[in-house]
Each structure stands twice: as C-alpha cells, then as structure tokens.
Structure 1
Amino acid sequence: MRGLFIIGRTTAQSIPTMLGIIVISFILLHLMPGDAVDAIVGMSGSASKETVAQLRETYGLDQSLPMQFWNYLSGVFQLNLGTSISYSAPVLDVILERLPATLTLMLCAFVLALAGGIVIGWAMAVFAGRWPDRLLTAGSLLLYSAPNFWVGLMIIVLFSAKLQWFPSSGDESIGAGLTGWAWFLDRAHHLVLPSCALAAFFVAIYARLTRAAMLEVLRQDYIRTARAKGLHPMLIQFRHGLRNALIPVTTVAGLHLGNLLGGAVVVETVFNWPGLGRLTMNALAARDTQVLLGILLLSSVAVILTNLLIDWLVTWLDPRIRS
C-alpha cells in the first residue's frame, strides 16, 4: 500500500511539472526568429506573398500565439502531438521511428558509464593515495573536462581512421543485407564508438562519486566491526561497503538521463547516428516546432519515469528508507 501511495504521489506531483515544461517550451520555441514556412520558402528560393499566407493558414501559423498553444495542448491531451511540417507526417510517428536508435545508444552508454565508473571508483578508493589512484584520477579528470564532440572525434581518428577497428558513422552497414545474428553483431559493431563517446563524461562523474562514497563508508563503525569479526576483505568491500556507497551514485545517475539525451544530440551528429539527436538538429534547421515540442515532451516523461524507478531502487538499496 505504501508503494502504491508513493507512485500516486509522484505521479500527481509530475502533472504540474509537465504542464510547466509544455508552457515554457512552447513560449521559448516560438520566440525563435522565423518559423517553418520561412524555412520552406528559404529552401525553395522564393515564393509570393499569397503562397506564404496560404502556407501559414494551412499549418495554423496565422493564428494568435494563445490559440496555437490551446490547439497544441488540446492535442496533447488526446495523444496527438500534431503534424510535422518538414516531414509531412504525424509527429509521434516521426519520433517513434527514431526513438529506438536513441534509446539503444543511451542505454548502452548509461550501462557502460555506470559499470565503468563504479569499477574505476572502487579501484580508486581501494588504492587511495597510491599511484593507481593518482593515475585513475588524472584519467577521470581528462574525461570530465573534455567535451563530447572532441572525445568523439578523437575516438574516430584513433579507432576508425588509424586502427580501422570500428566504423566511423551510421548504425549498420549499408547494402549488406544482413539478417539474424550477423545483423545483430553488425549493429553492435557500429554502436561501440558512439556509446563510448557518450559515456566518457559520465564515467568520470560516477568514478569520482563512487570513490568519495566508498572512502566515507569504509570509515564507518560497522565496517570496523566486520573486520573485527574476521570477514574476508573482498566481502567487506562489496557487500558492506560498495552497496552502501552506491546509494548516492544511483540517485545522481537517475538525474543524468536528461544530460544523456542532450549529449546524444552532439554524439549522434558526430557519428551520423539516426536517432532523436539528429532529428532535433534537423527540426531546428527547419524551424519545425511541432517536432521539437514532441521531443521535449517525451524526454520529460522519460526523465520523470526514470526518477520514479530510481526512487524504488534507492529504497531497495537502503533499508532505512523503507522503514
């Protein structure tokens, strides 16, 4: 019953947040100079005033801003995100077509960042003050300070151009006609470099956070008690130390979903990955506000759902929260 109460309370709290996101996103996007009709006219070269006026009337851009917002909000409540002007298709269909590629990239990068950061942070805490700690600290600071596009370009230069181990762009081999296991391996081969580029920044964050949490936990009284009982050092570190140190790491990791999506915009552009990142850049160039609003809305829903999942995970990790 308490779990259902927590879910209901979190859901109720998310409704005003979603409304605020919709309002702010709508206003900010409509403050951009120009609109989709201006982009269409610019790509076509020229158009008469009558043609421009007809296009604005067709797409509802001749209406006042409050009326456009009301029409959009009414459509959202009916699960209708509008029609993309640049793609001439429902916005939801356009997003769902690109969503699997972005989710795959984000999931792989998230798992890689979390696993790599925890392992590196654990090693830094175990060898605190010695040369492995200093070496790993320098490496994590480098990853933390380097922007995603630079990391992506350096990865392409080293592992694609020089060593030729991995492809530099795309999500599959064009024209290969692969199926089954060969197709899966080909997709995984293309996924390695963009996942590493997207995860690099977050590996550094989780490593530093795990190190600090582990050092704090290893100084607690119950750790000294476990050592006095003669438990194996690895059992103490993993069962009693690392599990409690993962609580702040897990909480911060849930908050980074939005950052992962923002980083995916840059990484997908560098690696020519056909996901929501490239769709966002194309929609910005075409002033397709309906697509941009749809991406922002679905991203916000994903962040809220992830935070709910993280709350449950933290509750499982820390029995004190359940009590």
Structure 2
Amino acid sequence: MSGTTRRPPTRRTVLGLGLVALAAACAPARPEAGVTPSPTRAPTASPVPTTPPPLDLTVALADVEARHGVRLGLHALDTAQGRTVSHRADERFAFCSTVKPLAAAAVLASRGVGGLDEAVPVTADDLVTYSPVAETRVGVGMTWRELGDAAVRYSDNTAGNLLLRGAGGPEGLTAWLRGVGDDVTRSDRWEPDLNAFTPGDERDTSTPRALAGTYGALVVGEVLAPPERDVLTDWLVRNTTGDALVRAAARPGWTVGDKTGSGAYGTRNDVAVVWPGTPDGAAVVLAICTDQAVPDADTVDAPLAEAARVVLDGLVTARST
C-alpha cells in the first residue's frame, strides 16, 4: 500500500451540483477576485465565485445525432470555470469497456502503487474474447500493473476481468463506486457479457453525467492519492484505442487521456480528460455515449469526434469571454 493518506471527497463535493466543487478544487492557484482590502478598514470576505451558466449547444449536438442516426448522450465539465455542456446527460447507456479504468482505479485505491508489482496468475480458463495481451501470458501471469496497462491502454478483456475480480467482482466495484460518490453507475456482469446491452436493461449501464463525474474525480480530483492518480492518468493518456474519437477533435499541443467502449446496438463510447494547453492548465472532462436502434448495428466513430469538437471548441472559447 502507498504511504500517502487518501482523502476521498464526499458524494456532494465530487459528483453533486455538476462537479462545481471539483472544478474549484482543480483550478490552479491564482489571486482571489475582488478589491484588495484597505488598510484603514477591516478586510471583507472575498466574493463567492459564481459558476457560469451551462453552454447551450443543443442545436449543434442534435444535428450530429440526426445526421448519423444515433442517440447521443454527453456531459462535459470545464474545470477552469465550472462551465458545463449537457445533452441527454442523464439517460442510461451501456458503459462497455469504459468500466475498465473504474476497475483499475478500485484496485489502485486498495493496493496502492506499492502493491502493483505483485504477480497475478493467468490461466486458460480466464481467457475471454479480445485479449491481445493476456493471451500471451497464460501460465506466466501478469502483475497488477501489467493488467491495468493491458485493460486501459489495449482494452484487453481478460485483463479487465482480472482487475474486476481484484475489485471484488461486479458487486464489489459497484459498492466501491457508491463509496466514492457515484450513485448511478452499476456493474453487473463480466467481459464480454457486459457488452450485451438491450434498451431498458439497466445492467452494466451509466449516464454521461455520472461517467464524466467519476472520471473527473479519479483523474483531477482526490479520490486517488497522487501516486495512484498519476498511474491511472498515464494509462489513459497512452491509450491506443481512441484516435478516431475525442482525440480526433483535439488541437495540436493538447493532451488527451481517454477510454473507449463498444457493444450491442452500435454502442460507441469515449470518456476523456482533455488538457487544452491553456495557461491555466485546467482540464475538460468529457463523456460521450452513443447507440442505435438496431441490435447488430455497426459502431460509428464520426458522431463522437464531431460532438467532441463542438464541445471542446465551445468550452475553450468560452474561457476567454
């Protein structure tokens, strides 16, 4: 276990009120707004910072939906000012492989960086479909660090299951999520079954608002201690599966950490933390989820990239207004 003391925030400060508290906590230090108190009078309290109104991009996002024939859910938070963008943000979508960083975070929280190099057996019975890394390690095993790297960066399903096992299985992960303030996301099954989404079935689902809130709390909040947070962030930034999604909307010089997912009904998701490279250093946390009306529909990347471009350009531009 890491020797660093963990300070998990309360549900209200992490996920409540649209992550306003998280935005304030993550903003770089800067002088307080207001007039410097006169030395001839008692200092007055600094004004309470006000959260700017949400950025209304409904028309543009509805256009993306209509042109691509998808249901698109999105929630974004600019931690610089607390400004948000939402579109179907409280509708449920299958989370698919975007759950893998959550399982990795639960393992990081329980084991700490110091426990990541312990070996974990990998057997033939553990193998499931799409396991490009774990299938080469049967009988050899992997460390917790290697499992996290394989699951988050390569979306290896066997590695994801072994992390989920380390988190106490679906029930254990759900309990951990409740403990860190996510009352919405629910884990019920293992890979690859968790991708078998049916409309109306709440198993293995979340909402864009909840996913953005939890990823934000993990990467730019204080749910994880700094050493564990840095490991998770590194895995997300070096992800290999998201080039056509939120990363495609990033401008040169921006840094993106993300995790993708796909499943039945053409489900295609990307949850990302984006550092636009502005002087304030603040991140934008963004969850985009899409699905379609046909069970065997092919996944499409373009609506996610287009929606991300609309939202990121809008939020970054709004910082200067």
What's the TM-score bracket when you normalise by the shorter of the two chains? under 0.3
The higher radius of gyration belongs to 1
Q: Which has the higher strand share?
A: 2
Q: TM-score if structure 1 supplies the norm length?
A: 0.26
Q: Which has the higher helix share?
A: 1
Q: TM-score if structure 2 supplies the norm length?
A: 0.26
